[in-house]
Structure 1
Amino acid sequence: MNELAHNRHLFIEDLARRLNALETGQRRMNALDYRVHARMLRHALAGVPVKHLQVLTAYEVVCEVLDNRGFDECGLLHSAGAQARALRDTTDTLLRRLQRGSREAA
């Protein structure tokens, strides 16, 4: 890992640790601090492959950001596991049937 990637990893870990402290009550909750740190974490995680973040998945906030990113990219929650694709296909089929039924009723 090059120095820039290592520094980014440390920055992400520091942000995750700070957010975790706010969420668990180790630090006094401040809404502005929380929003700023959460936004910084989202931006820091942008573009970083999930395989490079496996160590940081111990922090729940990192998992949530990765889930949101995965949902935005492909409409699946990665934390849903292997059943996510089957659930997505079932949902898509149901929505198509409902749309077809509403067009026929009109």
Structure 2
Amino acid sequence: MLGSTHGTLTTDFRARVVACGEEPHASVVSLPTATRQGGLDVSGRPLHLAVPDLDRFFRPRSVAVVGASDTEGRPNTGITRQLIAWAERVGARLHPVH
């Protein structure tokens, strides 16, 4: 596995973290959440990461579609119609932007 853009080739997880400074499954956590869940390490990073709430991403209430078209013969027309039908079916608001 390529460890960095500088050509560091590492297969060991610890070596990759040392060489590239990357860890899988990283996310942003606020300080109060980190201290509530078990504290910080010596560098001030949280020991346990919070699980992000993805409901707003997977079940949006409102969606803007840039490049929407209702002109016959355009490739975007079919996609726009499908998105309008989806919005009606799930109760979301669709904002077509031409």
More helix by share: 1
The reply to whether TM is greater than 0.5 is no
Larger Rg: 2
More strand by share: 2
Normalised-by-shorter TM-score class: under 0.3
Normalised by the size of structure 1, how large is the TM-score?
0.25
